Amino acid sequence: MAKALGFTYIANRFYSAGVPKVRAQKYVLNKYFQGEPKKSDFQIIEEELSVLKDGEILTEAEFLSVDPYMRAYMIGYKLPTDMIGGQVAKIIASRNKKFPEGKYVAGSFGWRTHTICNPSLPPKIGFLPTTLLPDISPHPVSLGLGILGMPGNTAHFGLKEICQAKPGETIVITGAAGAVGSHVGQIAKAIGCRVVGFAGSDEKCEYLEKDLGFDRAFNYKTANIKLALKDGAPKRVDCYFDNVGGEISTTIMNFMNYYGRVAVCGSISSYNDDKLPKVTILQPAIVFKELKVEGFLVNRWIDRWDEGINANLKLLREGKLKYNEKIYHGFDNMVDALVGMLRGENTGKAVVKVK
Amino acid sequence: MAKALGFTYIANRFYSAGVPKVRAQKYVLNKYFQGEPKKSDFQIIEEELSVLKDGEILTEAEFLSVDPYMRAYMIGYKLPTDMIGGQVAKIIASRNKKFPEGKYVAGSFGWRTHTICNPSLPPKIGFLPTTLLPDISPHPVSLGLGILGMPGNTAHFGLKEICQAKPGETIVITGAAGAVGSHVGQIAKAIGCRVVGFAGSDEKCEYLEKDLGFDRAFNYKTANIKLALKDGAPKRVDCYFDNVGGEISTTIMNFMNYYGRVAVCGSISSYNDDKLPKVTILQPAIVFKELKVEGFLVNRWIDRWDEGINANLKLLREGKLKYNEKIYHGFDNMVDALVGMLRGENTGKAVVKVK
């Protein structure tokens, strides 16, 4: 593949002349996942991109995202289908003045190297708008997939709109070392909450407490959850940000205060199961504690997208929002990255540097 | 025991003279329920009532209520304790002008024959205010425990505030032939919803469809729940009024539309279990359909109590609200009534006529 600069030059020249020359690589899903995703579920194919029309841009992916929802969503698509996903890409040719060449966009382009899109139109296979990245130097552009992208807005709106966390309240977060969980905890600290996290290793817990300022973090694989809650949440739990589902969620909901709010962001503990698991019934806790349990997808707030991005950018600039990335390398390693993230290899956001 | 009139006379005479003469019978719980409640968990004792103070009334119970919550709540009380519960009682002596002798009140007096209370103060062992029954003749005063009482307000506020059911939407109700469920369905029909109920016998289903106007009703003991939902709710489910918890609730929530609302009113299917049962995990449905699942207790709306009563009274007078009662007889049979109701013997409200 041509180097970025040379490639841009060629793309411009040929695109302006209306001659398509760019070949994109993309992942096509041929088989529904069973258990963990496998490379053999996919095929990487090449396709020639067509001519840029007025309003369109040509982008080259720099970072591709792997996120938990990818494991759960594909069952809703008819096969074969292009794989879904977000990416941060550089605009290498443009016929849209608002999206000039050389700038970066975040977009729901899927697992592919090059994309032509009209940023004013809804994405073809994903659900998030194509947005120009703000200038975030000296931070890496990959933050457009993390704290300044979909997971960041998931944390922002989930905590503020669904949990409605207030100063002095206690919030518990599962999947606390993940992209969303680690972010939720930091916003909650900035609000003035007591923050308790559950994560999958002692190292992650140490990171949450020492680097991110969580009040307490527990390794759910070794801790007694009830005792951990008594220890970490002496005033019990007002808000629960649920990324994982599973038995731990029932235990936490039974430890909540009256009128507690639960933001159900994901159910990663069950994504790899062919059949949904059984856990202790939630209804008694929900009714007797009058809990409000609400599931949400972040695209609910598409109309307020910039509001979330800007709020997180402000926290970042104030030093109140730290981030960590687990960077996988190479377009060919997307499946390994997805599986690794689902296994919890990442602390913070998992991304793939395309080359 | 003296007949009502004679008794009133004596009570007035002696109460005005400050000489206590009334002996009340009451149930005291000595042992936490295990499995179904048993008579041996209780003791019936007599106590002498004291003198009526200014503002107080003396009441004689005519109907006692048995409700599902009774099975679940007692674990929260230190033993021995007076048994909780609502009753409709006649005022047989009064030192409160707003509550004159001869009128009826609904109050959280517990399982007891006679009570002294100050209706302006919060109840001692229950959670609902003492309210004067409106004139509902020719209907029986026992409706103060049903459609014009706690279950009626549970139906009214649960449907309107939690489910927020709108005309044209489809609502599913479990425990549909119970006091609350049968009422919810009728309000929903009055609003203009499609109403689908699940109940525990073919007879109950016939009653719901033919007498109460439910669009469809299914016997959950014999129906395939998924097929019943496909059949009964061709536009899927917008609102679910959950009285029972259990596996059926997971199945229903998986059949809901985006942004569906679930009012969790009870979890009767698990009340008799010593250990909470396991059911298929709810989180995937909650997150991917962005459901809002909220538990509630009706005392949340104590400040709006009359609003609910009056709305139901209006429906009753317009002929849009029908009722059925399962009447047990005798103060000594409270436990049989409670167990019978928990087993689903009742269609509509279960009450006990004291004598």
- Please tell me the distance from the alpha carbon of residue B23 to that of residue A327, in angstroms, as a whole number: 78
Q: Which residues of B touch A242 (CB under 8 A)?
A: 283
Q: Which residues of B touch A (CB under 8 A)?
A: 72, 242, 245-246, 249, 264-267, 270, 276-297, 300
Of B293, B67, B125, the residue nearest A287 (C-alpha): B293
Contacts of B106 (CB under 8 A, 6+ apart): B86, B87, B88, B128, B130, B131, B133, B144, B145, B149, B150
pLDDT at A14: 47
Q: Backbone phi, then psi, for B176, in 5-degree steps?
A: -70, -20
Of B264, B279, B286, the CB nearest to A295: B286
Q: B123: which DSSP letter? A: P
Report how far apart, in Å, the C-alpha atoms of A164 and of each of A179, A285, A296, A341, B173 are. 20, 19, 14, 28, 29
The alpha carbon of residue A275 is apart from the nearest alpha carbon of chain B, in Å, by 9
3-class state of residue B25 by DSSP? strand
Of A245, A254, A259, A198, the residue nearest B250 (C-alpha): A245
Please state the domain extents for chain A.
4-137+323-353, 150-299
Query: Which pair of tokens denotes residue B218?
Result: 């299914």
Q: Is the pLDDT of residue B144 over 60?
A: yes
A288 and B276 within 8 Å at the Cβ level: the answer is: no
**pLDDT average, residue stretch B320-333:** 97
pLDDT at B123: 75
Q: B5: which DSSP letter? A: H
- Please tell me the distance from the alpha carbon of residue B302 to that of residue B153, in angstroms, as a whole number: 10
Tens digits of per-residue pLDDT, B154-176? Answer: 999 999 999 999 999 999 999 99
A280 and B276 within 8 Å at the Cβ level: the answer is: yes
**Sorting pLDDT into bands at 50, 70 and 90, what band is B6?**
very low
pLDDT at A11: 46
Q: Which residues of B touch A294 (CB under 8 A)?
A: 286, 290-293
Judge contact between A165 and A171, C-beta under 8 A.
Answer: yes
Residue B55 identity: G
**Sorting pLDDT into bands at 50, 70 and 90, what band is B10?**
very low
Other C-beta atoms within 10 Å of A53: how many? Answer: 10
Is residue B234 exposed (0-12), middle (13-18) or buried (19+ Cβ within 10 Å)? exposed
B287 and A280 within 8 Å at the Cβ level: the answer is: no
Judge contact between B96 and B119, C-beta under 8 A.
Answer: yes
CATH number at B150-299: 3.40.50.720
Q: Is the pLDDT of residue B9 over 70?
A: no
Residues facing residue A116 across a β-bridge: A58
The alpha carbon of residue A263 is apart from the nearest alpha carbon of chain B, in Å, by 9
Judge contact between B355 and B331, C-beta under 8 A.
Answer: yes
3-class state of residue A305 by DSSP? helix
Tens digits of per-residue pLDDT, B52-87? Answer: 999 999 999 999 999 999 999 999 999 999 999 999
A289 and B280 within 8 Å at the Cβ level: the answer is: no
Q: Which residues of A touch B (CB under 8 A)?
A: 72, 242, 245-246, 249, 264-267, 270, 276-297, 300
Tens digits of per-residue pLDDT, A271-319? Answer: 888 889 999 999 999 999 999 999 999 999 999 999 999 999 999 999 9
Contacts of B204 (CB under 8 A, 6+ apart): B176, B177, B217, B219, B347
pLDDT at B246: 95
A249 and B283 within 8 Å at the Cβ level: the answer is: yes
Judge contact between A149 and A310, C-beta under 8 A.
Answer: no
pLDDT at A10: 46
Residue of A nearest to B246 (CA): A281
Report how far apart, in Å, the C-alpha atoms of B121 and of each of A18, B11, B131, B324 are. 83, 22, 11, 32
pLDDT at A127: 75
Q: Is the pLDDT of residue B261 over 80?
A: yes
Superfamily of domain B4-146+324-353: Medium-chain alcohol dehydrogenases, catalytic domain (3.90.180.10)
Other C-beta atoms within 10 Å of B258: how many? Answer: 13
Tens digits of per-residue pLDDT, A311-347? Answer: 999 999 999 999 999 999 999 999 999 999 999 999 9
**Sorting pLDDT into bands at 50, 70 and 90, what band is B44?**
very high
Is the Cα torsion angle A139, A144, A146, A149 positive or negative in sign?
Answer: positive
Within chain A, residue ranges assigned H as helices are 4-16, 69-73, 150-157, 179-191, 202-206, 225-232, 246-253, 283-288, 305-317, 334-342
Q: A180: which DSSP letter? A: H
Of B267, B287, B300, the CB nearest to A284: B267
- Please tell me the distance from the alpha carbon of residue A247 to that of residue B279, in angstroms, as a whole number: 11
A283 and B291 within 8 Å at the Cβ level: the answer is: no
Q: A209: which DSSP letter? A: I
- Please tell me the distance from the alpha carbon of residue B244 to that of residue B221, in angstroms, as a whole number: 13
Residue of B nearest to A278 (CA): B280
ipTM score of the complex?
Answer: 0.91
| Residue pairs spanning A and B at CB distance below 8 A | 111
Q: Is the pLDDT of residue B14 over 80?
A: no
pLDDT at B8: 42
Q: Which residues of B touch A249 (CB under 8 A)?
A: 283
Of B72, B279, B295, the CB nearest to A286: B295
pLDDT at A89: 98
Q: Is the pLDDT of residue B109 over 60?
A: yes
Q: Which residues of A touch B226 (CB under 8 A)?
A: none
| Mean per-residue pLDDT of chain A | 93
Q: Which residues of B touch A292 (CB under 8 A)?
A: 292-295
Judge contact between B175 and B208, C-beta under 8 A.
Answer: no
Stretches where chain A sits below pLDDT 50 are: 1-14, 17-20
Judge contact between B92 and B65, C-beta under 8 A.
Answer: no
Angle between helices A246-253 and A225-232 (to 10 degrees): 40
- For β-strands A349-353 and A325-329, DSSP reports them as parallel
pLDDT at A54: 97
A281 and B283 within 8 Å at the Cβ level: the answer is: no
DSSP secondary structure string, B149-183? Answer: SHHHHHHHHIIIIII---TT-EEEEESTTBHHHHH
pLDDT at B127: 75
A72 and B289 within 8 Å at the Cβ level: the answer is: no
Residue listed under structure tokens 């992942």: A27
More confident residue, A74 or B128: A74
B266 and A287 within 8 Å at the Cβ level: the answer is: yes
Q: Calculate the dihedral angle through the C-alpha atoms of A102, A107, A112, A114, rounding to the nearest 10 degrees.
A: -30
Other C-beta atoms within 10 Å of B79: how many? Answer: 12
Q: A4-137+323-353 architecture in CATH?
A: Alpha-Beta Complex (3.90)
Tens digits of per-residue pLDDT, B227-248? Answer: 999 999 999 999 999 999 999 9
Judge contact between A114 and A22, C-beta under 8 A.
Answer: yes
End-to-end Cα spacing for chain A: 10
The alpha carbon of residue B289 is apart from the nearest alpha carbon of chain A, in Å, by 7
Q: CB pairs under 8 A, 24+ apart, for B212-221?
A: B212/B182, B212/B185, B212/B186, B212/B322, B213/B185, B213/B186, B213/B189, B214/B176, B214/B185, B214/B189, B217/B176, B217/B177, B220/B174, B220/B248
The alpha carbon of residue A1 is apart from the nearest alpha carbon of chain B, in Å, by 39
Query: Which pair of tokens denotes residue A164?
Result: 């409605």
3-class state of residue B224 by DSSP? coil
A284 and B276 within 8 Å at the Cβ level: the answer is: yes
Instruction: Find which of A262, A271, A282, A290 to mutate to test the B interface (most B CBs within 10 Å of its CB).
Output: A282
Q: A291: which DSSP letter? A: -
Other C-beta atoms within 10 Å of B281: how many? Answer: 24
pLDDT at A125: 72
Do domains B4-146+324-353 and B150-299 share one topology? The answer is no
Residue of B nearest to A293 (CA): B293
Query: Which pair of tokens denotes residue B20?
Result: 């206590």
Judge contact between B111 and B81, C-beta under 8 A.
Answer: no
Residue listed under structure tokens 């005519």: B62
- Please tell me the distance from the alpha carbon of residue A244 to that of residue A232, in angstroms, as a whole number: 19
- Please tell me the distance from the alpha carbon of residue B77 to that of residue B31, in angstroms, as a whole number: 11
Of B284, B296, B297, the CB nearest to A270: B284
Query: Which pair of tokens denotes residue B25?
Result: 């019978």
pLDDT at B5: 40
